[in-house]
Structure 1
Amino acid sequence: MHILFLTQILPYPLDSGAKVRAYFVLRYLAARHRVTLVSFSRASDPPAALAHLRTVCHAVHTVPMTRSLAGEARSLARSLVSGQPYTLLRDERRAMHQLLQQLVQAEPFDAIHADQLAMADYAWQASRVAHASAPRLVLDAHNAYYLIPQRMAAATRNPALRLFLRREARLMARAEGECYRRFDHLLTVTPEDRAAIETLLPSDPAAPPQRWTMPICVDSAAPPLKRQPAARGLLLLGGLHWPPNADGARWFLREVWPLVRQQAPQAQLFIVGARPPADLQAAASARDSATAPDGAVIVPGYVTDPQPFLAASAALIVPLRSGGGMRVKIVEALQWGLPVISTTIGCEGIEVTPGRDLLVADTPAALAAAAVQLLQDPAQGDALAANGRRLLAARYDWRREYTLLDAIYPA
């Protein structure tokens, strides 16, 4: 089949969960079909990323994505006037519509695959002007997006922000329900997200779209990392421009970290991720984990190679209180052989057994106790890591799990 594959972010390098999902789906399809990738690109994308993706795909096209305060303000104003979600309006670009129209009118595509909700309308509009008969429409939604602002509203203390987030959740739910009905196939990454999305769809299970659940997977054959024998770091990893990650980091720093320091004063806290907000940057007491003193908080921002922080960590901490979908950082930690401590929401949708594959804690006291436990008992961390690697090989390897795509895209 000739597939037009649309992504909101360039799916390489693999430094975010959304990229990991899109990349391995792309790899699986491109090994069996003729795939043309169309993606938004950003100034921060390394040239090597495009070069690599061109070795995977039949063709690669990009449209620059730039954002500004003025543009964000216009999107917010449009949302207030139109009743459309701000989250979707901020990603509308005429240049993307124009490029897709040129491509689908120049040659026939058998299918258009939209990765994430932000690309759904682009796929729909392109299908309406396609050169050939209507191509198959496939949406990999990843998440039930309305759950993200809904959960963020429940966690925030700011009344004005809470009101905005509740409104955004309502608008997103309506927009998602309308959007999904246009697709032939709909993929989600967890059963929880599928159930949440199905509340927005017709009750008839035979009505379109056909629904599939397929987890985010990685390469289980990759070797685990080598950690320091007496690692004393606790690692928070993920893009800090994503509000749930920033909220979780603030909560851990404010409510949990002081409790950890009381029992393990030698511990260090690594908050690693792109675009840390000013308040998290201000909390840093050091920049380099190798020379940081006891009790240091290290906020290096985006790092191209997280290995030094991974090796120096006794555990990955996932202190999420909101969000949706599946935390790829947990699956990657299973691959790395890094012990994990997560909230219930943080490990939602991943088939882990608490106490065997990772530790789960939802209160500051419980999170602090779990962190201190792994800092003081490396053997327990090693056992969790070994169990996690076994789970990864059994359930989260892309070469095996993504055979589900053969039912949507028969050879």
Structure 2
Amino acid sequence: MSSHPVHKKRVLWINHFVPYPPKGGLLIRTYGLLEKVLVDHDVTLMCLVQPRLLTPYFESVEQGLAEAKRFFESKGAQIHFFTMDNEKTKWHRLTTAGLSLASSKPYSVNWLHSRELANALNQVDYENFDYIHVDTMGLLGDFGTALPADKTVINHHNAEHIMMQRRAEKETHWAKKHYYAIEAKKIAQFDAQMMRHYRHHIVCSPEDKEALNHLQPGMNVEVVPNGVAYKEKVTRTPQQGKLLFIGGLDWYPNHDAITFLLEAICPLIRQHNIAVHIDIIGKNPAASVSNLASQYEFVTIHGYVDDIDIFYQNAQAFLCPLRDGGGTKLKVLDAMNYGLPVIGSDIAFEGISVTHMESGFVVNSTEAIFAAICDLVDGNVDAESVGQKGRQLIAQKYDAKTISQNYSCSIKEHN
């Protein structure tokens, strides 16, 4: 007879990164989903180690792993780490990208290969688990359909094939455009193949659900939105014309968005002498971004910043002119949580039920973004009212604690 209470499930959680600390989109989503699951269930984590996700926050990868282990074990979980064969050096990544041209599997699958993880999973007795969470479809490259389908749920941080299609459509370099188009097709084929075996999936947004159902109709796809820890109280001291962007600048949709801002929007701001100052915060900005920003006295590139509360507190609005990417943007939810009105594109607001001019400013063209900035600075819109309605949305639909609670309950009810 099991010693576990009836409601407590034994959960195997397979992750393509170490979900600690909760900084950055991927880590925040997974950490958020785990929060209540760790309390309600017996969890075993098997995590690939991506050094690039740990080194910005710790003195060494080893320190990061030690702190992650200490944290999760303090929550009663077991955690195991596994190296990625293709993440040892930049050369390994580039070689994998090249070899993927000759592979039927997409780069995203080949990149996640880990002999260590594959060997460990071959030794797992799946009868010892009631529920298996796989945190991205690409992890299935090493073990295919070996997991018990009735117990397995695949998490999707975004619809990867749609993201790659967008990237191919936007790319101007012919070789890269061709590569991304091939990758989009391979991802779609791989995902459809795996979904014929694994029928249970969770996604961030209705848009992603529609994309998966288009690939493979008849799936059991549940929308589990991204969320942030709702702030019961925030302090706002907005300064007129102070605009903010926060996001990792080594992530290509953010790099593209800031490049677009600097090349298309900032010249209009200068031409019309609009009184703004734009703070751009994010790790690893490219030299091209820093060079562009240096042309404008009203733009400051800060790089990575430990304490960003003061920036949220003083900003009048958050800029998010994304033209690429997928999933629900945690940077947008974070800004809304602080009461900032967000000036963003359709892509920026994917999965977030904002209403234009009420809980956010949904603008896509260069002219529309510039006009929204001008209206804000000139006081033609009630920015603080829009920001407060955005905060209400966080409380109602995107509070991480509620989302994690709901996911934990779905694990309890899973048969």
Residue 231 of structure 1 and its aligned partner are, at CA, apart by: 4.7
Of 54-63 and 316-325, more deviation after overlay is shown by 54-63
1:101 and 1:376, CA in 2 relative to 1: closer, same or farther beyond 3 A? farther
For residues 340 and 284 of structure 1, the distance between their equivalents in structure 2, rounded to whole angstroms, comes to: 21
Q: Is residue 57 of structure 2 the alignment partner of residue 37 of structure 1?
A: no
Which residue is equivalent to 2:110?
A: 89
Q: Is residue 140 of structure 2 the alignment partner of residue 120 of structure 1?
A: yes
Structure 2 residue matching 1:392: 3-state secondary structure: helix
Q: Is residue 377 of structure 2 the alignment partner of residue 410 of structure 1?
A: no
Which residue is equivalent to 1:59?
A: 78
Which residue is equivalent to 2:362?
A: 360
**1:7–1:114 Cα contact (<8 Å) kept:** yes
**1:261–1:267 Cα contact (<8 Å) kept:** no
1:57 and 1:172, CA in 2 relative to 1: closer, same or farther beyond 3 A? farther
Which residue is equivalent to 2:257?
A: 248
Q: Is residue 278 of structure 2 the alignment partner of residue 259 of structure 1?
A: no
The equivalent position to 1:278 in structure 2, one of 270, 287, 312, is 287
Deviation sequence 1:346-388 (CA, Å, 0-9, x none): 1122111111001011111111121232234397221111101
Q: Is residue 171 of structure 2 the alignment partner of residue 156 of structure 1?
A: yes
For residues 143 and 15 of structure 2, the distance between their equivalents in structure 1, rounded to whole angstroms, comes to: 10
Residue 319 of structure 1 and its aligned partner are, at CA, apart by: 0.9
1:229 and 1:326, CA in 2 relative to 1: closer, same or farther beyond 3 A? closer
Q: Is residue 89 of structure 2 the alignment partner of residue 74 of structure 1?
A: no
What CA RMSD, in Å, does the superposition of the two structures yield over aligned residues? 2.5
Structure 1 residue matching 2:112: 3-state secondary structure: coil
1:311 and 1:67, CA in 2 relative to 1: closer, same or farther beyond 3 A? farther
Structure 2 counterparts to residues 124-203 of structure 1, below 5 A: 124=144, 127=147, 136-201=151-216, 203=217
1:358 and 1:90, CA in 2 relative to 1: closer, same or farther beyond 3 A? same
Identical-residue share of aligned pairs (%): 29
Structure 2 counterparts to residues 199-214 of structure 1, below 5 A: 199-201=214-216, 203=217, 205=218, 209-214=219-224
Residue 298 of structure 1 and its aligned partner are, at CA, apart by: 2.0
**1:113–1:123 Cα contact (<8 Å) kept:** no
**2:238–2:313 Cα contact (<8 Å) kept:** no
1:235 and 1:127, CA in 2 relative to 1: closer, same or farther beyond 3 A? same
1:310 and 1:120, CA in 2 relative to 1: closer, same or farther beyond 3 A? farther
**2:157–2:203 Cα contact (<8 Å) kept:** yes
Structure 1 residue matching 2:133: 3-state secondary structure: strand
1:67 and 1:346, CA in 2 relative to 1: closer, same or farther beyond 3 A? farther
Residue 144 of structure 1 and its aligned partner are, at CA, apart by: 1.1
Structure 2 counterparts to residues 223-372 of structure 1, below 5 A: 223-224=233-234, 226-285=235-294, 295-372=297-374
Residue 161 of structure 1 and its aligned partner are, at CA, apart by: 1.8
1:266 and 1:284, CA in 2 relative to 1: closer, same or farther beyond 3 A? same
Which residue is equivalent to 1:290?
A: none
Structure 1 residue matching 2:316: 3-state secondary structure: strand
For residues 128 and 407 of structure 2, the distance between their equivalents in structure 1, rounded to whole angstroms, comes to: 25
For residues 122 and 380 of structure 2, the distance between their equivalents in structure 1, rounded to whole angstroms, comes to: 56
State the one-letter code of the partner of 2:215. L
Of 34-43 and 333-342, more deviation after overlay is shown by 34-43
Of 214-223 and 14-23, more deviation after overlay is shown by 214-223
Structure 2 residue matching 1:333: 3-state secondary structure: helix
State the one-letter code of the partner of 1:136. K
- Which residues of structure 2 form unaligned runs of 5+? 1-8, 59-63
**1:274–1:301 Cα contact (<8 Å) kept:** yes
Q: Is residue 230 of structure 2 the alignment partner of residue 220 of structure 1?
A: yes
**2:293–2:299 Cα contact (<8 Å) kept:** yes
Structure 2 residue matching 1:283: 3-state secondary structure: helix
Which residue is equivalent to 1:397?
A: 399
Residue 248 of structure 1 and its aligned partner are, at CA, apart by: 1.2
Structure 2 residue matching 1:63: 3-state secondary structure: strand
Of 89-98 and 57-66, more deviation after overlay is shown by 57-66
State the one-letter code of the partner of 2:104. G
Which residue is equivalent to 2:61?
A: none
Which residue is equivalent to 1:289?
A: none
Residue 126 of structure 1 and its aligned partner are, at CA, apart by: 6.3
1:89 and 1:162, CA in 2 relative to 1: closer, same or farther beyond 3 A? same
> What is the TM-score when the length of structure 1 is the normalising length?
0.87
Of 268-277 and 47-56, more deviation after overlay is shown by 47-56
Deviation sequence 1:204-230 (CA, Å, 0-9, x none): x3xxx4221111122224432x34332
Which residue is equivalent to 1:131?
A: none
Structure 1 residue matching 2:306: 3-state secondary structure: coil
Residue 107 of structure 1 and its aligned partner are, at CA, apart by: 8.2
Which residue is equivalent to 2:389?
A: 387
Structure 2 residue matching 1:36: 3-state secondary structure: strand
> What is the TM-score when the length of structure 2 is the normalising length?
0.86
For residues 242 and 73 of structure 2, the distance between their equivalents in structure 1, rounded to whole angstroms, comes to: 38
For residues 323 and 111 of structure 1, the distance between their equivalents in structure 2, rounded to whole angstroms, comes to: 30
**2:35–2:401 Cα contact (<8 Å) kept:** no
For residues 13 and 34 of structure 1, the distance between their equivalents in structure 2, rounded to whole angstroms, comes to: 21
Deviation sequence 1:6-63 (CA, Å, 0-9, x none): 2222222222121121112111211211011222232515334443333334212222
Residue 98 of structure 1 and its aligned partner are, at CA, apart by: 2.6
**1:114–1:123 Cα contact (<8 Å) kept:** no
- Which residues of structure 1 form unaligned runs of 5+? 129-133, 287-293
